Amino acid sequence: MAEQSNILPVLAPLSGVRVPLSRVPDPVFAQRMVGDGASLDPTSSTLLAPIDGDVVQLHAAHHAITLRHPSGVDILIHIGIDTVTLRGEGFTPMVRLGDRVSAGQGLIRFDLDHLACRARSMLTQVVVANGERVVALQLGRGELEAGRSLLFSLTLNSDDRSAAAVHRGDQHATKVELPNPAGLHARPAAVFAEAAKHYRADVRLRFQGREANGKSLVALMSLATAAGSVVELVARGPDAREALGRLAELLRQGCGEDLQAARAEAERRPSLEVERAANRAVSGELRGVTASPGLAIGRVFQWRRGALQVQERGADPASEHQRLSQALRAAERSLRELQVQSTDTARGAILAAQQELLQDPQLVDSALALIDQGKSAAYAWQTATEQSAATLAALGNALLAERAADLRDIGRRVLGELLGEVTTSVQLPEGCILIAEDLTPSETADLDRQRLRGFCTRGGGATGHVAILARSFGLPALCAIDPQALQLADGQRVILDADRGLLLTAPAPEQWAQAERDVEEAKQRAQRERTAAQQPARSADGQRIEVVANVRHAADTADALAAGAEGVGLLRSELLFEQRSSAPDEDEQIAAYAAVARCLGQDRPLVIRSLDVGGDKPLSYLPLPREDNPFLGQRGVRLSLAHPALFCTQIRAVLRATQGHRLHLMLPMVATLEEFRQARALVAEQAEQLGLAMPSLGIMIEVPSAALLAEQFAREVDFMSIGSNDLTQYTLAMDRGHAQLAQHADALHPAVLRLIGLCGDAVKRNAKWLGVCGAMASDPLAVPALLGLGVRELSVEAPAVAAVKAAVARCYLDECRALAQQLVELDTASAVRARLSEFQSRAHAARVEESV
């Protein structure tokens, strides 16, 4: 085709049918945010170059490519919609970045049938990515034949200055001084990367001669910025100006970090280097940083992770891409499942953060690039994660070093998928103190706590996920331990004094004697607390508060009772329904509920929640249509009402299994009175058919509408229990599993407390009772607030029973009520936490004084 000086013909890169951009089911293209051009519905499967030019961009997922014509015009071709999520599966590039190609030359081969089943749409967009150079765009006509038909032609501006500007690209840059006390560490970096991903523009951050992809959390953290670092923000591409403005502002504001709190934390916490410098070589004393307090005596057990057998050379890049993408998806699925099953909030947040890392563009891109060089998927992934982890660990910044453990953890999880090796559990000898280079959060969670007395790691940090887990297990632990610890002999007896950050390898006889006395005393204190926990909980002024437990089955129930729980405040019945191909029948359900009831006996309360699935917890045998917003769709009681046979079978089983017991039946996710009334009618019908009395029937308060109408609900229900996990999520509009929102989705937010207060007032006026069964009930800090708001039942995780009972025993209810009035007037969750900490310290001191 003849090319006039200022006319640029753009050929069809594929055969097929032309489709106007406005009909593409992606607003980014339909609204021409990327640029003007055309779309086509392809019938061929080799993408041909529509113009002569250089390959200036080839996406790592191989679904998009940009060619730059000698005139400076950039033509971007995007195969399919949302095909980036396939991470290269089904695409084979035929060119490399920087290649010069001629119109009609093959660029990317793809498997049309395979993609058609997986992609949202196969519509392929051909757009001008830098429109300033173009005066007019004229669409061609008729059917499209790849490499022959005209898709559209461009009339170019002949102004040389404009051509030069285009060639440089639409680039904008600015400098910003970071206000974050620890620079762009994990949380602010995650917020920035997430915001940057909303723009088509390529976003880079430059600092001290290094450059990071602004959309990659790992790359941003590796810049190792600090408080006051001046970074250069560069945006290049179609929406660069807009991206620059918004992202620069985000950086100036601290990327969502609570700067005041972070400053206080930074002052409190020395850097890893300072901490390591403080490792004084006092003979027989190895210093580390307290990850979890406590004292233990035990024998050294050196643990080294076995090297995985990874083959370096791969098969052809297309199949290695496919293997990696399948393994990433499988790892993501398993993390998601673990997160849903996790009843431990700390572990849930860790799993959510790791899912984010699995999608990090720098990690995935580096692995894909290695595969393109002929490496196997396993080798490429191992190298990419290890390099990033080593970079973070070497930066001398404690916060960043902690994220290295997460990277290594997801590294091994994906390798497990690729190599068919999934178990990482550590075999421990009895009574040991484990010493390791590092531990991943998964390895820590799997440690046999019966055999382990404590652990020390060379890596990690005091706020890392491993430390959080150690604290939740009550295990003394040190991180950043002196490297000499790794040389200690297996079996050597040592004292781990995590309170003072010390591992004592050669204590004097009097130190042994003192440590033995202290360990014994701590044991007795724990025993006293456990014994006290066997007594019914009472506030300091004698008010009975029920401290009960959240359980899933009879085994959990026995553990909870042993820990001092006074009954069950939430039986999550969904466990019976999950991971199977058909619903459990009435008899199977009766057996499960009766086992819990038997374990409790007839005097302890048993709150059974009807099936709470749907949303994020689908069941394979329920035909649930795909929902755009499953958290706002058919879940909880709505799903039961939509499947009355399933609901009625469960109700019959519950009623039959618990005769003679203190049953309370609880409905999850109730948003309206109509839902409650409909469910109540079904329960009444089943009770009547069985000739049994109507049970005590209550609702969970998980939706703001239910709390706002608490007065109306309180007239009709027998009780209410606050599901603070969901109530927080729906009140603050923050996904409870979202890693970057985790620190803000705080149940102690005054907005959530106000809603709880409405329920407290309503139950009081109507002589009903109010409980809390969400995670906030297990937090001793929250106890005075909840009691002050009118809560009289706390349903907690079994390990929290003793601490929650002790917190109740420190409370005078009139003081709590006055406190609650102040809390609901505060403006942020951190202000509430600060006020509660102050209250807690005063209450503690006052009760100690009273007891002497």
User: Rule CB under 5 A: which residues touch Mg ion?
Assistant: 702, 723, 726
Q: Which is nearer to ligand PEP, 75 or 773 (CB)?
A: 773
Angle at 58 between CA 56 and CA 59, to 5 degrees: 135
CA 468 vs CA 24, 433, 460: distances in Å: 46, 18, 11
With CB cut-offs between 5 and 8 Å by kind, which of Mg ion, ligand PEP, none does residue 222 bind? none
To Mg ion, the closest distance from the beta carbon of 775 in angstroms equals: 10
Alpha carbon distance 188, 182 (integer Å): 10
| Nearer Cβ to ligand PEP (24/747) | 747
Using CB under 6 A as the binding rule, the residues of this chain from 549 to 608 that contact ligand PEP are: 570, 572
In 43-143, beta strands by DSSP E: 46-48, 53-58, 64-68, 74-78, 91-93, 100-101, 106-110, 124-128, 134-139
Out of ligand PEP, Mg ion, none, which partner does residue 388 contact, by CB within 5 to 8 A per kind?
Answer: none
The residues that bridge with 699 in the sheet, in sequence order, are 667, 720
Query: Six-digit token pair at 129?
Result: 């990515």
* Beta carbons of 706 and 722 less than 8 angstroms apart: no
On whether the CB atoms of residues 382 and 308 are closer than 8 A, the answer is yes
Residue 779's alpha-carbon distances to 103, 530, 784, 800, in angstroms, are: 65, 17, 10, 8
Closest CB 606 distance from ligand PEP, rounded Å: 16
Given a contact cutoff of 8 angstroms between Cβ atoms, the answer to whether 716 and 673 are in contact is yes
Give the nearest distance from C-beta 491 to ligand PEP in angstroms: 44
| C-beta closer to ligand PEP: residue 393 or 669 | 669
**With CB cut-offs between 5 and 8 Å by kind, which of ligand PEP, Mg ion, none does residue 793 bind?**
none
Nearest distance from residue 773's CB to ligand PEP, in Å?
A: 5
Backbone angles phi, psi at 388, to 5 degrees: -65, -40
Among ligand PEP, Mg ion, none, the one that 773 touches (CB under a kind-dependent 5 to 8 A) is ligand PEP
Judged by beta carbon, residue 705 or residue 837, the one nearer ligand PEP is 705
Q: Which residues pair with 154 in a beta bridge?
A: 8, 137
Q: Which is nearer to ligand PEP, 320 or 612 (by Cβ)?
A: 612
Write down the catalytic residue from 255, 759, 773, 816. Answer: 773
From the list ligand PEP, Mg ion, none, which binds 760 (C-beta under 5 to 8 Å, kind-based)? none
Residue 285 touching ligand PEP (CB under 6 A): no
Q: Which of ligand PEP, Mg ion, none has residue 477 at its interface (CB below 5 to 8 Å by kind)?
A: none
Parallel, antiparallel, or unpaired for β 134-139 and 124-128?
A: unpaired
For residue 285, the partner it binds in Mg ion, ligand PEP, none, with Cβ less than 5 to 8 A by kind, is none
- Which CA distances in Å does 533 have to 530, 771, 800, 805? 5, 19, 10, 6
Q: Which does 780 bind (CB under 5 to 8 A by kind): ligand PEP, Mg ion, none?
A: none
Quote the CA–CA distance of 786 and 793 in Å, as a whole number.
10
Q: What angle do CA 81, 200, 349 make, to 5 degrees?
A: 80
CA distance 575 to 554: 12
Nearest-approach distance from CB 664 to ligand PEP, in angstroms: 15
Residue 806 and residue 809: Cα distance in Å, rounded?
5
CA distances from 191 to 187, 198, 336, 354 (A): 6, 12, 21, 15
Distance separating alpha carbons of residues 669 and 138, to the nearest angstrom: 55
Q: What is the DSSP secondary-structure string of 759-781?
A: HHHHHHHTT-EEEE-SGGGG-GG
Query: Does residue 715 contact residue 737 with C-beta atoms inside 8 Å?
Result: no
Question: Which of 15, 725, 731, 778 contacts ligand PEP by CB under 6 A?
Answer: 725
774 binds, among ligand PEP, Mg ion, none (CB under 5 to 8 A by kind): ligand PEP
188 interface partner picked from Mg ion, ligand PEP, none, CB below 5 to 8 A per type: none
Contact 791, 766 (CB under 8 A): no
Give the residue from 187, 184, 172 showing the smallest Cα distance to 245.
172
Active site (annotated) includes residue 465: yes
Nearer to ligand PEP, 220 or 773 (CB): 773
- In the bound state with ligand PEP, the residue whose beta carbon lies nearer, of 157 and 550, is 550
We find the least distance from the C-beta atom of residue 33 to ligand PEP, in angstroms, to be 37
Taking the complex as a whole, how short is the minimal distance between the CB of residue 572 and ligand PEP, in angstroms? 6
Residue partners of 744: CB distance under 8 A and separation at least 6: 256, 732, 734, 829
Nearer to ligand PEP, 59 or 617 (CB): 617
Whether the CB-CB separation of 405 and 438 falls below 8 Å is answered with yes
Among 157, 354, 539, 724, binds ligand PEP (CB under 6 A): 724
DSSP state for residue 313 in the 8-state scheme: B
* Smallest gap from residue 725 Cβ to Mg ion (A): 5
Coil, helix or strand at residue 89: coil
Q: What is the rounded CA–CA span in Å between residue 765 and residue 711? A: 8
Measured between alpha carbons, how far apart are the two ends of the chain, in Å? 99
Q: Which of 69, 185, 465, 643 is catalytic?
A: 465
Rg (CA), the chain: 31
Q: Which of these segments, 295-303, 334-342, 346-354, 723-731, binds ligand PEP (CB under 6 A)?
A: 723-731
Cβ 702 to ligand PEP shortest distance, Å = 5
* Cβ distance to ligand PEP smaller for residue 322 or 728: 728
**d(Cα 209, Cα 223) in Å, to the nearest integer?**
10
Closest approach of Cβ 348 to Mg ion, in Å?
13
748 is a contact residue toward ligand PEP (CB under 6 A): no
Q: Which is nearer to ligand PEP, 340 or 648 (CB)?
A: 340
Closer Cβ to Mg ion, 66 or 550, answer by number: 550
Please tell me the count of residues contacting ligand PEP according to CB under 6 A: 10
Q: Which does 332 bind (CB under 5 to 8 A by kind): ligand PEP, Mg ion, none?
A: none
C-alpha span between 112 and 83 (Å, rounded)? 12
Complex with ligand PEP: residue 173 or 340, whichever CB lies closer: 340
* 723 contributes a contact to ligand PEP by CB under 6 A: yes
Rounded CA-CA distance 235/245 in Å is 10
Q: Which of 26, 726, 746, 797 binds ligand PEP (CB under 6 A)?
A: 726
843 binds, among Mg ion, ligand PEP, none (CB under 5 to 8 A by kind): none
| Binding mask of the shown chain, residues 702 to 721, with x at each position contacting ligand PEP by CB under 6 A | x-------------------
Is the separation of the CB atoms in 358 and 414 below 8 Å? Answer: yes
The footprint of ligand PEP on residues 612-631 (CB under 6 A) is 612
Give me the least distance between CB of 640 and ligand PEP, in Å please: 15
* Pick 201 or 783: Cβ nearer ligand PEP: 783
Q: Taking the CB of residue 329, how many other CB atoms lie within 10 A of it? A: 17
Within 771-800, which residues bind ligand PEP (CB under 6 A)?
773-774
Tell me how far, at minimum, the Cβ of 755 lies from Mg ion, in Å. 14
Per CB under 6 A, the segment of 264-272, 309-317, 594-602, 724-732 that binds ligand PEP is 724-732
Binding-site partner at residue 157 among Mg ion, ligand PEP, none, CB < 5 to 8 Å by type = none
Residues numbered 388-417 forming contacts with ligand PEP, rule: CB under 6 A: none
Work out how close the CB of 669 gets to Mg ion at its nearest, in angstroms, rounded to a whole number. 7
Q: Catalytic residue positions?
A: 465, 773
Binding residues for ligand PEP, rule: CB under 6 A, are 570, 572, 612, 702, 723-726, 773-774
